[in-house]
Structure formats: C-alpha cells, structure tokens
Amino acid sequence: MSKVTIKDILNKFKLELISGEEGINRPVTTSDISRPGLEMAGFFDYYPEDRLQLLGRTELTFFSMLNEEDRIVRMQRLCTDVTPGIIITRGLEIPEELIEASEQEAVPVMRSNLKTTQLVSRLTNYLEIALAPTIAIHGVLVDVYGVGVLITGQSGVGKSETALELVKRGHRLVADDCVEIRQEDQESLVGNSPPLIEHLLEIRGLGIIDVMTLFGAGAVRSYKRITMCIHLENWDQNKRYDRLGLDEDKMKIFDVEIPKLTIPVRPGRNLAVIIEVAAMNFRLKKMGVNAAKQFTQRLQETIKDHEHED
C-alpha cells in the first residue's frame, strides 16, 4: 500500500482532473519531479518515467512547433504504465494528443493554475514529508523549552507521569506511549502522535486523560523536531552513573544521531525538574557553554597549581 497516490495529490493541491481517471490510485513513490524538456525533443534514453511529470509553458510551446506525427509519438512515449501522472501548470490548454495517449494508458492528466516553479517547490516539500521513512517508538515526546525531548524506558518506569508533571509546569505534550518518527532530511527527526491517541495520556490508576481538554490548547503540539533522548531506568546501585556530564551517549534513529541521557529513577527524585534542566543544559551546550568541561578544566588547572607549589 503506497503512502501517496495521485488521488491524494489531486485533493491536496486542488488540481483539475482532465483525463486518465482510471489511474487516480497510481502510487507516487519518489519526491523527485521531472520536467520532460528533452523528451519533448525526442530524447527518451534517460526518461525518469516513475516520477510525476510537469509540463509548463516552455515544454508546451516547443511541443506546439512539432509536426503531427511527432506530437502523437512523443505523448504516447510520455504516458507509460508506471508514470504516476502528468500535471499541466499555469492553467494552460491541454494538447489533444496528450489526452488521447493518457486515456489509452490510464495516466491521470491534471491541471494547476500555479506557476511551474511554485508547484515543483510545493510538490517536492509535500512528497519529501509524506514519503519520508517512518518508525514507531515506545515512549513519550514532550516539547520542553523548545527542545523536543523523547522520553524512553521500560513500561511502568514513570514516563507518562513525568510527562503529566511537565505539562502541569507549562510544557507541551506531543505524543504518549507511541511516537511516530520520520526522518525529514539528513539531520532532522520529527515526531508526532498516531491520530487515535493524539492529546491523550495514560496514567496508571487514573486511566486515560485528555490533556487538551484539561490543560487547554497550549498544552499540546501536533509534531515536534526531536533533539534529545532521555532514557529512564530503575536505579541500579551496582551501575556507575555519569556524575560530571562528560559521557556523551548517542541514540541513532535512521541516519540521525541524537544525544541520549540515562536518568536513574527512584522515589524522591523529581524527574520533571531534571528533564527541564537537561533541556536547558542542552540549549546552553548548543550556545557553546559546557559546564562539565569548564569544571574539568578548572580542576586540571587547580591540580597543576598545586603541583607547582609542591
């Protein structure tokens, strides 16, 4: 089942369907858009037939100069069994040869009033997001001081309760229990909630609560870029936890690595405050202020001073 079909594009961009209606469920599998200029001139050796094809004023003006036989052949070769669809921009008139060829192969031909470059830009942005690789992760996603914090940990460790405390403190819930994550480009991960459980939190002993109804529209977000992960685990007295903040652990999702902090959980620890401080500290590091490194440098300088005195 394809994530995007021609029908989706028709509805999203309010396109006018001209012909090839039988093919409106054809899948769109790539965000690349083709403007078949060389193909209009008869060069089909490298024709990217699996892409959406856009014909603008340049292509159609050249096409109108061809003789009748070439016009028929070019449009027949443009409409293949894998071509998702052909879009005419600027509200231009559709060549009769294209309509006939599209009906034969059931290739949808659509028309838009937008300029070609405008439509290419909007289509590419839409398709890159819609076709981005997606994964579902068990966890909670919260926007804390503008930092997208993914909270992970075993079931029952207190992820949802921590999210509830963060929401009470003025931060915003994105997703609870299941976070759908997509990679939008080489460096960014964006998380959102499955529609079925959007704005909902499950608190053991209390049940399911609607965060937006209880705390208002300002307490939720539809999606958020994920910039750090906080992993909650039950306190293990035999494990050595980082006490300086020099250990830089990473979590890899798709091709993107994000900083990961492991926070031990035990009664009396205010996890919401710890996560708030972690988010602020992350922002400070981005600005070039690293408290752990500064402390280590001062410590080394103090040790050197004592060595010189001795």
d(CA 182, CA 154): 22
Question: Are 163 and 204 within 8 A, CB to CB?
Answer: no
Phi, psi (degrees; rounded to nearest 5) at 27:
-80, 145
Q: Is 159 a catalytic residue?
A: yes
Q: How many CB atoms lie within 10 A of CB 14?
A: 9
| 100 assigned ligand-binding residue | no
Contact call for residues 253 and 135 (beta carbons, < 8 A): yes
CA angle 168, 171, 174 (to 5 degrees): 110
The label of the residue with tokens 């205010």 reads: 270
Binding site annotation covers 294?
no
> Is residue 236 flagged as an active site residue?
no
Catalytic residue chosen out of the listed positions 177, 182, 199, 221:
177
The CA distance from 160 to 275, in Å, is: 13
Return d(Cα 299, Cα 253) in angstroms, integer. 36
Q: How far lies 213's CA from each of 178, 193, 194, in Å?
A: 20, 17, 18
Residue type present at position 125 = N
Active site residue 286: no
Catalytic residue, from 243, 252, 306, 308: name it: 243
In angstroms, rounded to a whole number, what is the distance separating the alpha carbons of residues 66 and 145? Answer: 61
Asked whether residue 154 is marked as a ligand-binding residue, the answer is yes
Please identify which of the residues 3, 12, 57, 138 carries the catalytic annotation: 138
Clarify whether 177 is annotated catalytic.
Answer: yes
Judge whether 155 is annotated as a binding position.
yes
Q: Consult the annotation and say whether 202 binds a ligand.
A: yes
**Vertex 178: Cα angle to 173 and 184 (nearest 5):** 80
Q: Is residue 157 a known part of a binding site?
A: yes
Pick the closest to residue 221 from 163, 279, 137, 293 (CA basis).
163
Catalytic residue among 159, 171, 182, 231: 159
Residue 188 marked ligand-binding: no
Q: Give the residue from 172, 167, 123 showing the smallest Cα distance to 12.
A: 123
Helix axes 96-105, 68-78, angle to 10 degrees: 40
SS3 168: helix
Which residues make up each annotated binding site? 153-160, 202
Which residues make up each annotated binding site for ATP? 153-160
Catalytic machinery residues: 138, 159, 177, 243
Which residues make up each annotated binding site for Mg(2+)? 160, 202
